[in-house]
Amino acid sequence: MSLLDRVETDGSLFDAMSAATFTMNGYHGLVSLDYDKAEDDEDEGVDPEWWELLRMVKDRKVHNHLCMLCLTGQSARCDGAFYSENSCPFAFKRLARLPGYQLVTSWEYGEGQGAIALFQVKKG
Protein backbone atom coordinates (compact mmCIF):
# COMPACT_ATOMS: atom_id res chain seq x y z
CA MET A 1 0.00 0.00 0.00
CA SER A 2 1.33 3.42 -0.93
CA LEU A 3 0.20 6.81 0.26
CA LEU A 4 1.27 9.91 -1.60
CA ASP A 5 0.50 13.15 0.17
CA ARG A 6 1.26 16.44 -1.51
CA VAL A 7 1.64 19.22 1.05
CA GLU A 8 0.99 22.77 -0.03
CA THR A 9 3.57 25.26 1.22
CA ASP A 10 4.24 28.96 0.78
CA GLY A 11 6.79 28.01 -1.87
CA SER A 12 9.88 28.59 0.25
CA LEU A 13 12.47 25.90 0.88
CA PHE A 14 12.13 26.59 4.62
CA ASP A 15 8.41 25.87 4.58
CA ALA A 16 8.91 22.73 2.48
CA MET A 17 11.63 21.43 4.82
CA SER A 18 9.42 22.17 7.83
CA ALA A 19 6.68 20.05 6.27
CA ALA A 20 9.10 17.25 5.32
CA THR A 21 10.62 17.11 8.81
CA PHE A 22 7.28 17.47 10.64
CA THR A 23 8.38 20.66 12.41
CA MET A 24 5.76 23.05 11.01
CA ASN A 25 3.51 22.93 14.10
CA GLY A 26 6.00 24.02 16.74
CA TYR A 27 6.37 21.44 19.50
CA HIS A 28 3.17 19.61 18.59
CA GLY A 29 4.09 16.22 17.16
CA LEU A 30 7.85 16.29 17.79
CA VAL A 31 9.31 12.85 18.51
CA SER A 32 10.62 12.50 22.06
CA LEU A 33 13.36 9.88 21.64
CA ASP A 34 16.40 11.07 23.59
CA TYR A 35 19.72 11.29 21.76
CA ASP A 36 22.58 12.31 24.03
CA LYS A 37 25.40 11.40 21.68
CA ALA A 38 26.29 9.47 18.59
CA GLU A 39 26.85 5.82 19.42
CA ASP A 40 30.41 4.50 19.63
CA ASP A 41 29.49 1.85 17.08
CA GLU A 42 29.38 3.74 13.78
CA ASP A 43 26.54 1.51 12.54
CA GLU A 44 24.24 2.51 15.42
CA GLY A 45 22.57 5.72 16.55
CA VAL A 46 22.77 9.10 14.90
CA ASP A 47 24.90 9.28 11.77
CA PRO A 48 28.22 10.78 12.98
CA GLU A 49 28.30 13.39 10.20
CA TRP A 50 24.87 14.65 11.20
CA TRP A 51 25.65 14.45 14.91
CA GLU A 52 28.30 17.14 14.59
CA LEU A 53 25.80 19.50 12.95
CA LEU A 54 22.77 18.61 15.06
CA ARG A 55 24.54 19.01 18.39
CA MET A 56 24.50 22.76 17.66
CA VAL A 57 20.68 22.77 17.92
CA LYS A 58 20.17 24.09 21.44
CA ASP A 59 16.47 23.31 21.80
CA ARG A 60 16.45 19.75 23.16
CA LYS A 61 13.08 18.76 21.68
CA VAL A 62 13.97 20.01 18.21
CA HIS A 63 17.44 18.43 18.50
CA ASN A 64 16.04 15.01 19.40
CA HIS A 65 13.39 15.21 16.70
CA LEU A 66 15.91 16.05 13.97
CA CYS A 67 18.31 13.36 15.24
CA MET A 68 15.50 10.85 14.73
CA LEU A 69 15.58 11.76 11.02
CA CYS A 70 19.37 11.36 10.75
CA LEU A 71 20.07 7.88 12.07
CA THR A 72 22.42 5.39 10.48
CA GLY A 73 20.79 2.96 8.06
CA GLN A 74 21.15 0.20 10.67
CA SER A 75 19.47 2.22 13.42
CA ALA A 76 16.68 3.36 11.11
CA ARG A 77 15.66 -0.29 10.73
CA CYS A 78 14.01 0.02 14.17
CA ASP A 79 13.63 3.73 14.97
CA GLY A 80 13.39 6.85 12.90
CA ALA A 81 14.86 7.44 9.47
CA PHE A 82 18.12 7.90 7.65
CA TYR A 83 18.85 10.82 5.40
CA SER A 84 19.21 9.56 1.84
CA GLU A 85 20.12 12.96 0.39
CA ASN A 86 19.57 13.01 -3.37
CA SER A 87 18.90 9.29 -3.76
CA CYS A 88 15.28 8.89 -4.77
CA PRO A 89 13.45 6.26 -2.69
CA PHE A 90 11.89 3.45 -4.70
CA ALA A 91 8.35 4.55 -3.85
CA PHE A 92 8.94 7.87 -5.63
CA LYS A 93 10.82 6.72 -8.75
CA ARG A 94 7.77 7.10 -10.99
CA LEU A 95 7.03 10.56 -9.63
CA ALA A 96 10.66 11.62 -10.13
CA ARG A 97 10.36 10.88 -13.85
CA LEU A 98 7.42 13.23 -14.36
CA PRO A 99 8.11 16.49 -16.18
CA GLY A 100 8.58 19.39 -13.79
CA TYR A 101 9.37 17.24 -10.71
CA GLN A 102 12.88 17.62 -9.30
CA LEU A 103 14.01 15.72 -6.20
CA VAL A 104 15.44 18.03 -3.53
CA THR A 105 16.14 15.52 -0.74
CA SER A 106 14.72 12.42 0.96
CA TRP A 107 14.62 10.19 4.01
CA GLU A 108 13.93 6.46 4.30
CA TYR A 109 12.43 4.49 7.18
CA GLY A 110 13.11 0.92 8.19
CA GLU A 111 13.94 -1.55 5.47
CA GLY A 112 12.05 0.20 2.72
CA GLN A 113 8.74 0.38 4.61
CA GLY A 114 8.44 4.11 4.20
CA ALA A 115 10.02 7.21 2.80
CA ILE A 116 9.67 10.96 2.60
CA ALA A 117 10.81 12.83 -0.45
CA LEU A 118 10.85 16.54 -1.06
CA PHE A 119 10.31 17.58 -4.66
CA GLN A 120 10.35 20.97 -6.28
CA VAL A 121 7.35 21.06 -8.61
CA LYS A 122 7.60 23.55 -11.42
CA LYS A 123 4.28 24.82 -12.62
CA GLY A 124 4.09 24.35 -16.30
The answer to whether position 5 is within a domain reads no
The answer to whether position 7 is within a domain reads no
The residue among 33 and 102 whose pLDDT is bigger is: 102
The answer to whether position 4 is within a domain reads no
Cβ atoms 26, 20 nearer than 8 A: no
Task: Using the CB atoms, write b or e for 62-75: b if 16+ within 10 Å.
Answer: bbbbbbbbbbbeeb
**102, β-bridge pairs:** 120
**Total-model pTM:** 0.78
Rounded Cα–Cα distance for residues 107 and 116 (Å): 5
The answer to whether position 2 is within a domain reads no
Reported as a single tens digit per residue, the pLDDT across 68-81 is 999 988 888 888 89
Report which residue type is found at 88: C
| Local confidence band at 1 (pLDDT 50, 70, 90 cut-offs) | very low
How many CA atoms lie less than 13 Å away from 76 in the CB half-sphere?
23
The answer to whether position 95 is within a domain reads yes
**pLDDT of amino acid 10:** 87
Rounded Cα–Cα distance for residues 114 and 35 (Å): 22
Rounded Cα–Cα distance for residues 114 and 64 (Å): 20
Write out the residue range of the structural domain in which residue 20 sits: 13-121
Reported as a single tens digit per residue, the pLDDT across 13-43 is 888 888 888 888 777 778 777 766 555 556 6
The answer to whether position 62 is within a domain reads yes
Q: Which long-range contacts (CB under 8 A, 24 or more apart) does 101-104 make?
A: 104/13, 104/16
Question: Is the pLDDT score of 60 beyond 90?
Answer: no
Question: Is the pLDDT score of 4 beyond 70?
Answer: no
Question: Is the pLDDT score of 91 beyond 80?
Answer: yes
**pLDDT of amino acid 98:** 92
The answer to whether position 43 is within a domain reads yes
Rounded Cα–Cα distance for residues 18 and 24 (Å): 5
> How many structural domains comprise the chain?
1
Rounded Cα–Cα distance for residues 85 and 8 (Å): 22
The answer to whether position 53 is within a domain reads yes
Report which residue type is found at 107: W
